[in-house]
Structure 1
């Protein structure tokens, strides 16, 4: 059943040797918004993935939603990420940078000016920010983006995509899932706008479509991916009509010739299958796998059924830097250490062992 996993696949401008993708995972080890040598080692260890998609990286100061997450919006950050891409490419890997603006999942604690986070509408998440010195802080009601603000945010994303290419990335993934800014525009409970960016399905998808078009025009559509999670309720999202929303979104984006669409399937597999039927380029499917031993079977089943062109996993790669080799060999997997998911040093980051020999 694992044969399909090790067939080559073309994603964007890259011919990849197999179909196992490393999904984006926040690790909160970027002090001051800068990645370091440990991060370069971490990603280089996992260069055997067909494609690496980095942790969410903020395209602007206001895009940050968690402590010690990296940015890609200034020269120092570009230089820091160049060490990562050089290390991955030296081992033959392909790496895309995920651009993540968290929208209302932010807090004045994170911003030098102490201002509010920004979002489609002034609707608080009901969630909290973890801080190392003040404990949990309630997310405030965000500031509603004006039309001028929306244009600015699209420009910030677009410049950060250019920055990512300057830093040596092979492309970017726009994070439209998990209740962050793009999905906040898509969802009815977080987008209460009555202007051209809200109300109807066409209004709610407009921000995502304009953003994708701008980034694709800037760096090339075949270097752009989009991640979506239809029906996902993470971060307080409630989508009332996900089938209609994502049908309209993918129909609007299909003509652009993007590198891929990355579907996080937490609910509604029928929406994934509807998207699959009409989506013209690669589709990467992310399905939860607990325990790790289920991953090879789930991946092979999805590929052989034609539900996806590639499959992505997160925690599997976190604990197994050579996950593709372990699956090919039928070897055991390393157990993960949840206590070291976020923050800290090399422990639970770069010290997971590879197969002997």
Structure 2
């Protein structure tokens, strides 16, 4: 797996020891008022000490109204930043903090006294106030020691809703044309770049074929929207575009937690369509300032082959890092990866303990 183990530098400024990334995963274990604690420090430090090139933490919500999980973390007070500082201080790897905010209408929530799915849909009247909310959260993330931010623009979260004509019915400068629907995401990128003094500190996570949380759009709109968006992101010289392939035939899904997720009827894709190979060409070209990262159900072997063929720069593994804290040594030494033998409860935890299924996975003897 020599290709994935090669070092790489983001934006000419952020060197990584290899091209393997621990992807963002909601684990629902920040039980101390939605702040990370002892368990999170150990969880991330364990995966950093074995040589992970880049770690992207679980989604950190920029406002409490955006939180759809009971024990997901926040980042909108100095207290939150101070708690996350203990996590970043314990890590030897570069660390990015994802930003997320709720999908307005229809998205799952698990909070006391609130409905399972939101019915009180209210249009955003002051878009700049939302941009400022993101900006403030990113300022706190910077003080907490994060090297940058991954902006989540998929899965039905707010940036993706603005991108979609099915969710975005606005008649102002943020709705209608593809340029208008992309405006909000691009304004967020501009704001984050200003906070971190450079766009190389930004990773934007998108999934053109996504259909989670009713985010699917037809093929023609998808092509137009993401061709424009990716082109504009590269123009802005963002450090990484993290391109997913959920919803495409190439990745039917493992079924480990959500189960099979067939594509909704009426939104067909060309047979064998792979959005990473299609849109990746907009990122991977001579002189491009932006690195291409891919995610969703890749094997180590397939990812290494794509890196060797110059089809991608970096690869995200997520669930494999749960039960393989020593994923990098296993890859280096050609050891088999551990499998999840405990069932789907490990993803989001149990009430009786925050460490069970979280910090109790064994490592291989050579790690």
TM-score relative to the length of structure 2: 0.84
The 3-state SS of whatever aligns with 2:61 is coil
1:5–1:19 contact (8 Å) kept in structure 2: yes
Could you list the per-position Cα deviations for residues 307-326 of structure 1 after superposition, in whole angstroms to 9, with x for gaps in the alignment?
21000011011111111110
The 3-state SS of whatever aligns with 2:315 is strand
1:177–1:264 contact (8 Å) kept in structure 2: no
Displacement after TM superposition at 1:305 (Å): 2.1
Distance of 2:330 and 2:232 partners within structure 1? 39
Residue 8 of structure 1 corresponds to: 7
Distance of 1:273 and 1:221 partners within structure 2? 19
Distance of 2:161 and 2:71 partners within structure 1? 23
1:271 to 264, 269, 278: 278
Residue 230 of structure 1 corresponds to: 208
1:252 aligns with 2:253: no
The 3-state SS of whatever aligns with 1:4 is coil
Distance of 2:60 and 2:16 partners within structure 1? 24
1:156 aligns with 2:133: yes
Distance of 2:77 and 2:85 partners within structure 1? 13
Displacement after TM superposition at 1:239 (Å): 1.9
- Which protein has the bigger helix share? 1
Distance of 1:103 and 1:135 partners within structure 2? 15
Aligned length: 325
1:30–1:70 contact (8 Å) kept in structure 2: yes
Residue 194 of structure 1 corresponds to: 171
1:225–1:259 contact (8 Å) kept in structure 2: yes
The 3-state SS of whatever aligns with 1:99 is strand
Residue 185 of structure 1 corresponds to: 162
Distance of 2:27 and 2:79 partners within structure 1? 20
CA distance change for structure 1 residues 25 and 40 in 2, over 3 Å: closer, same or farther? Answer: same
CA distance change for structure 1 residues 61 and 313 in 2, over 3 Å: closer, same or farther? Answer: same
Could you list the per-position Cα deviations for residues 251-289 of structure 1 after superposition, in whole angstroms to 9, with x for gaps in the alignment?
222222212111112234243334334653111111314
Residue 67 of structure 1 corresponds to: 70
2:244–2:296 contact (8 Å) kept in structure 1: yes
Could you list the per-position Cα deviations for residues 182-238 of structure 1 after superposition, in whole angstroms to 9, with x for gaps in the alignment?
101001111111111011101100100111011101212121111111120011112
The 3-state SS of whatever aligns with 2:243 is strand
Distance of 2:161 and 2:214 partners within structure 1? 10
Distance of 2:5 and 2:139 partners within structure 1? 32
**Structure 1: gaps spanning 5 or more residues:** 105-123, 290-294
1:262–1:284 contact (8 Å) kept in structure 2: yes
Displacement after TM superposition at 1:67 (Å): 1.4
1:299 to 299, 303, 320: 303
2:67–2:109 contact (8 Å) kept in structure 1: no
2:317 to 313, 319, 342: 313
**Structure 2: gaps spanning 5 or more residues:** 249-273
Residue 341 of structure 1 corresponds to: 347
1:19–1:311 contact (8 Å) kept in structure 2: yes
Residue 81 of structure 1 corresponds to: 84
Distance of 1:301 and 1:5 partners within structure 2? 9
1:185–1:205 contact (8 Å) kept in structure 2: yes
Residue 109 of structure 1 corresponds to: none
The 3-state SS of whatever aligns with 2:145 is coil
Distance of 2:34 and 2:291 partners within structure 1? 31
TM-score relative to the length of structure 1: 0.87
Displacement after TM superposition at 1:135 (Å): 10
2:68–2:108 contact (8 Å) kept in structure 1: no
Matches within 5 A, 1:22-33: 22-31=22-31, 32-33=33-34
Residue 107 of structure 1 corresponds to: none
